[in-house]
Structure 1
Amino acid sequence: MPGRFATRPLIARARVLAARQESRALAVLLAGAGSLWAFLTLADEVTEGETDAADRWLLLALRNPADPADPLGPRWFEEAMRDVTALGGFTLLTFTVVVATLLLIFHDRRREALVFAATVILAQVSSELTKALFDRDRPALVAHGGYVYSQSFPSGHSTMAAVTFFTLATVVASVEARKRTKALIYGLAVVFVVLVGVSRVYLGVHWPTDVAGGWALGAAWAMAAWLVLGFIRVRPRR
């Protein structure tokens, strides 16, 4: 009898935690669906040319009115934006994904490593496919402040920065018990993603809607990864 009564608080606590997990999963599922819907809606408006006026205005707002080839701000700031945009570049993100995946494997978190790497790869494939599908030209209003090799919509830098940093933040935050540290991890991920996207517009290599589309697509993949990671944490290891 005493043992039975002693286990009741543990059972109640387990039920509360399960309910919280289900609520979070539902919220993330809805947010992921909303991100995907936002991407598809934005893609439709871009295809029909409904965003052209806003894109032009926002792009030129970051330029010297007397010389559109000159971004606002001093020279050092322009160089800083080039450094920031590299955070979403293929080389740096590939290095980040490889190192993070290896560290997860070394710490016996192979399932998390698989989910993380697979999500980033699938996001990269989806970004390239959608670029080819919509075949949008890069901005020609201003001189590009960086090298470009592909179509414009969605922004590959924005897509890959979102999926990489948000998914990595989810994995890292899962092993951290303190809420403040979790908030810091997610906060840094948001800052990196936003800065990468803004830098693409500032350098004139993407329209603002390219960046918004990339954020939405990358966030959708990251939230899908969150759901999978939540499932494998609940499922017991052999």
Structure 2
Amino acid sequence: MVNKRWRTQDTLMSGLLILWFGWTIAVAQSATMISRFDQAIAIPLHHSSQWFQQLMTSYTQLGNPHMITIITLVVGVILLLLRQPRATLFFWINVWVLGGYGNYFIKQLIQRPRPTAWRLVQIGGYSYPSGHSTTTTLLIGSLLVIAWDLLKKSTLKRSLLGLGILMILLMMVSRIIVGVHYPSDTLGGLMLGSYLLYLSTRLTTGHRTGPIRLKSRS
């Protein structure tokens, strides 16, 4: 049963990877479909309520590199204090290595300029994919995976899942509202982060919790 479930999930995530590749190619080629998608979502968000824009301007700062570094370090230390060094490594590698370097590599490859028509904050660099979306997906997603491993109450797990999804979606929305990303950037970041999270989760099954035991030489 477990193997069958994994095969089904592998197929679904392989489909997501193919979809992400197609989406990325369309973005790189400035396809008309991408432009229409971006306008349909960005324009209503740029005309949203003032209080919501102010809220998102503050919220988006939680995804800035220095804040992500602090959050990731603090959460990792807490996991270490809970005697979960494997979970700490899983969390740190996902956020700092996969999230940071994976997103940076794709940005340098695509080199999509950031939008300039609307700006509430200033930032440099390239636009696709959204680093905030990718990293937040990996950060929150990794915590959800660890919670699934350690927690027993299914109701608590479902509540955390709902909260996590909401936080990721709000980060995506915030990047559009402050004008530093196109909607297609944030969706690309979500897909990239989701696949990288699944890949790391798949490869570490059965090895994400508990102490690190070094094999002794006989």
Does TM-score exceed 0.5, indicating one fold? yes
Q: Which residue of 1 aligns with 2:71?
A: 96
Code of the aligned partner of 2:20:
F
Task: Decide whether aligned partners of structure 1 residues 160 and 77 sit closer, same or farther in structure 2, where only a CA change above 3 A counts.
Answer: same
Q: 1:167-202: per-residue Cα shift (whole Å, max 9, x none)?
A: 111112311111111111111111110000011112
User: CA–CA distance in 1 between the matches of 2:178 and 2:110?
Assistant: 22
Kindly report structure 1 stretches of 4+ aligned residues shifted beyond 4 Å.
233-238
TM-score, normalised with respect to structure 1: 0.80
- Measured in 2, the distance between the counterparts of 1:24 and 1:225 equals 17
Matching of residue 214 in structure 1 with residue 197 in structure 2: no
Deviation at 1:49, TM superposition (A): 1.4
Work out the CA distance in 2 between the residues paired with 1:212 and 1:155: 8
**Which SS does the other structure have where 1:230 is aligned?**
coil
Unaligned stretches of 5+ residues in structure 2: 214-218
**CA apart distance, 1:42:** 0.6
Q: Output aligned runs, 1:154-165, within 5 Å.
A: 154-165=129-140
Question: Aligned equivalents of 1:72 and 1:233: distance in 2?
Answer: 42
Q: How many matched pairs?
A: 210
Matched with 2:162 is: 187
Letter in 1 for 2:55: A
Q: 1:42 to 1:181 in 2, by over 3 A?
A: same
Maintained 8 Å contact 1:155/1:210: yes
Q: Relative to structure 1, is the Cα distance of residues 178 and 134 closer, same or farther in structure 2, using a 3 angstrom cutoff?
A: same
Supply the distance in 1 between the matched residues of 2:66 and 2:9 (Cα, whole angstroms): 30
1:79 to 33, 51, 54: 54
Match of 1:125 in 2: 101
Deviates more, 1:188-197 or 1:114-123: 114-123
Gaps of 5+ in 1: 1-18, 64-70
CA shift, 1:26, in A, is 3.1
In the other structure, the counterpart of 1:60 is: 43
- Alignment match, 2:84: 109
SS at 1:38 equivalent: helix
Structure 1 residue 101: deviation in Å? 1.4
State the 1:140 CA deviation.
2.2
Q: 1:84 to 1:24 in 2, by over 3 A?
A: farther
Q: Percent identity?
A: 25
Indicate the residue corresponding to 1:32 in structure 2: 13
Deviation at 1:118, TM superposition (A): 1.1
Helix, strand or coil at the partner of 2:49 = coil
Closer/same/farther in 2, CA of residues 54 and 214 from structure 1, 3 Å limit: same
Q: Contact between 1:29 and 1:224, CA under 8 Å: does it hold in 2?
A: no
- The answer (yes or no) to whether the contact 1:116–1:225 under 8 Å persists in 2 is no
How much does 1:231 deviate? 3.1
CA distance in 2, matches of 1:83, 1:234: 34
Letter in 2 for 1:35: L
TM-score of the pair, normalised by structure 2: 0.87
C-alpha root-mean-square deviation of aligned residues, in Å? Answer: 2.2
Pick the structure with greater CA Rg.
Answer: 1
CA distance in 2, matches of 1:26, 1:86: 38
* Preserved contact between residue 87 and residue 161 of structure 1 (Cα < 8 Å): no
Counterparts in 2 of 1:24 and 1:184: CA distance versus 1, 3 Å: farther
C-alpha contact (below 8 Å) 1:158/1:218 kept by paired residues: yes
The one-letter code of the counterpart of 1:73 is S
